Amino acid sequence: MSVFQDHPLRKRLAEEGHARPYRLLRAPMVLSHLTVLTGELGGDADRAHVADLCRRLGAPPPEEGATHYNGALGPFHLKWERHTEFSSYTFYVDGPYDHPFDDPAIGHVPEDWLAALPGQVLGATHLGLEDEDAGVRSFADLAALFNDNTVTGSGMYGGEALVWTDFRLHKDGFGRILIRNRGLNQRQAGRLIQRLLEVGTYRMMAMLGFPLARDALPKVAASERDLSALIAAMTDVETLEDERNMLKRLSELAARAETLSAKTSYRFAATGAYHELVRRRIKELRELRLDDAQVRGLQPPGEFVNRRLKPAMETCRSVTARQETLSRRIGRASDLLRTRVNVALEEQNRDLLQSMDRRARVQLRLQETVEGLSVVAISYYLLGLVAYLAKGAKAAGLKIDPDIAAGLALPLIAGAVWMGVKRLRRALAGKDEP
């Protein structure tokens, strides 16, 4: 027992590498593989459905929260794996057969259980594994196994196995793969079959982005044309109202572009990831062109997948790149137009400030005029009071000439009134000084 403190995820992370082991396989055997798309939230329903099959056939069900199951269920063996957005079901039946596809493994699975599978089937494959002593097949015999379709074939794992497939859906809705073991041990056979099935599964998952790319392409092209027209019309904009209207149209165009990007970004990212997995799995198959009579002149399956898948993946990457470029162009155009609007607003603000400055100067002149008139008016009334006071004093017997008294008081009164008005103005302006 360790004396140190374990990270809470240590055991889970350590077991993750062994979560989906391949099965040890020995020829002859047949299997049927299903890829069922259920979305990111479909894991519980898938697990419950597998548990239902286990209970019906008297086998222990998967544990709560499990993402994979591997066990014998009566006449067949089931391997279930839960992935991010899909589940895969592989049914194995061991034993000899006359025809690799006449009695498929899925024929031993209850039909009502298959009909109730959660989600939608995206991939379905029958596979047969045979010994080398099964007998040499001519091209005509091979074509007959695949309903006379064009067959691809090559050596894999350095020539230790021969693999044939036609990449077609047959009347039962399944594709077909035939493998001849020429020296693989049970582990190698299990790894080879798992990788072949993964190539088919990930190829279909990658192709989910292609219809979306084709649908998005005309929308992106239309947005590009609208943006080019807006940018060309930007030089003819004169008024601020026109600039605001154009900015509104750019905002609407940006909203359309972002909405489309939100609908496609996840699928396109997943498409790129699945395509990379396909490329890696094909590389791990170590495919060879052999001078064997049964595969001579046939196109290798890995080459077929790469050549057919690459144009679709390039289309998805092209649409993704155009969407990103469109968003950047809209951003630059919006910034340019906002700059023009801001410059126009600054010019308006400058004109407004200049107008306000002119009005302030006029108001100052009016204020100075009013202050001058106020000094005259107040001085006039105070001088009148002085004159009345002098007249009253003369009438009381004092020898005072009212006119002389008023004339002497005039400079003093005017000066005092002017100083008082000036001091009051400073006080009102918050600049009063002692």
User: What is the pLDDT averaged over residues 205-216?
Assistant: 95
Q: List, for residues 12-59, the tens digit of each pLDDT value.
A: 667 666 566 678 889 899 999 999 999 888 889 999 999 999 999 999
What's the CA gap between 36 and 26, in Å, rounded? 26
Helix, strand and coil in the chain, % to nearest 5? 60, 15, 25
pLDDT score recorded for residue 34: 97
Q: Would you state the pLDDT for residue 49?
A: 95
- Its pTM stands at 0.76
Please determine, for residue 2, whether its predicted confidence score (pLDDT) is greater than 60.
no
**Any residues with CB less than 8 A from the CB of 122 and at least 6 apart, and which?**
35, 36, 37, 86, 204, 205, 208
Q: pLDDT class for 73, splitting at 50, 70, 90?
A: very high
What pLDDT does residue 368 have? 65
Distance CA 214, CA 220 (A): 10
In this structure, which long-range contacts are made by residues 395-398, counting pairs with CB atoms below 8 Å and at least 24 apart in sequence?
none
Over range 86-102, report the average pLDDT: 92
Of residues 92, 94, 43, the one with CA closest to residue 68: 43
Mean pLDDT of 6-11: 74
User: What is the mean pLDDT of the segment spanning 3-18?
Assistant: 70
pLDDT at position 20: 63
pLDDT tens, position by position, 289-347: 887 777 788 899 999 999 999 999 999 999 999 999 999 998 888 887 777 767 767 77
More confident residue, 147 or 420: 147
